[in-house]
């Protein structure tokens, strides 16, 4: 989480550089809004955010989700976020970096979440997206699938779906697809 103290230090440094005549980079409206969103995050205890490129690159970050209930309880799933400079007028690009057996996440990591597509509105924020991703793990939706096979199994045989999820999370094959351990 970005701390207020660091932000004040950064503002002080920017002010010092400005007084020395050093160039400072002007932030886009998207960066300013994203900074506000991140400073106001109120994540569930089972979620965390990190900045693999350092604190200077707020537009690219990762979110780790560890569901504490449902089929995916005990697993850890990593998502990458890429936020464009026109955010919030365009939703972030979100990919699941953990290969997962899930009806709403395909094997390439694409995520089927309505607020990342047709239901996106500029009033939504990063916190909303993270809660939406968390909700996909607590209540997967077979009615709007990206992984049609997983959706059919969830719809027709929830016990088998649960067995497939456990096998995939433990590191094993589901059908012809191998999943690395994420428990």
Structure tokens at 90: 């365009």
Contact in structure between 63 and 72 (CB atoms under 8 Å) = no
Residue 112 is a catalytic residue: yes
The label of the residue with tokens 């909303």 reads 128
60-65 and 93-96: which strand pairing? unpaired
The label of the residue with tokens 């924020």 reads 125
Structure tokens at 19: 């007084």
Residues 6+ apart with CB under 8 A from 69: 138
Q: At what angle do helices 29-39 and 126-138 cross, to 10 degrees?
A: 60
Which sequence positions are flagged as catalytic? 112
């Amino acid at each position: 989480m970005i701390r207020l103290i660091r932000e004040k230090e950064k503002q002080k440094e920017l002010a010092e550089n400005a007084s020395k005549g050093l160039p400072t980079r002007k932030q886009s409206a998207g960066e300013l809004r994203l900074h506000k969103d991140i400073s106001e995050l109120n994540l569930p205890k089972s979620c965390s955010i990190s900045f693999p490129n350092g604190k200077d690159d707020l537009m690219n970050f990762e979110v780790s989700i560890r569901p504490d209930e449902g089929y995916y309880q005990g697993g850890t799933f990593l998502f990458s976020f890429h936020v464009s400079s026109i955010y919030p007028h365009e939703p972030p690009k979100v990919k699941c970096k953990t290969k997962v057996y899930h009806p709403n996440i395909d094997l390439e990591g694409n995520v089927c979440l309505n607020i990342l597509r047709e239901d996106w509105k500029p009033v939504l924020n990063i916190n909303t997206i993270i809660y939406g991703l968390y909700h996909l793990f607590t209540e997967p939706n077979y009615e709007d699938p990206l992984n049609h096979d997983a959706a059919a199994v969830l719809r027709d045989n929830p016990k088998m779906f649960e067995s497939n999820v456990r096998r995939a999370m433990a590191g094993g094959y589901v059908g012809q697809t191998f999943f690395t351990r994420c428990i």
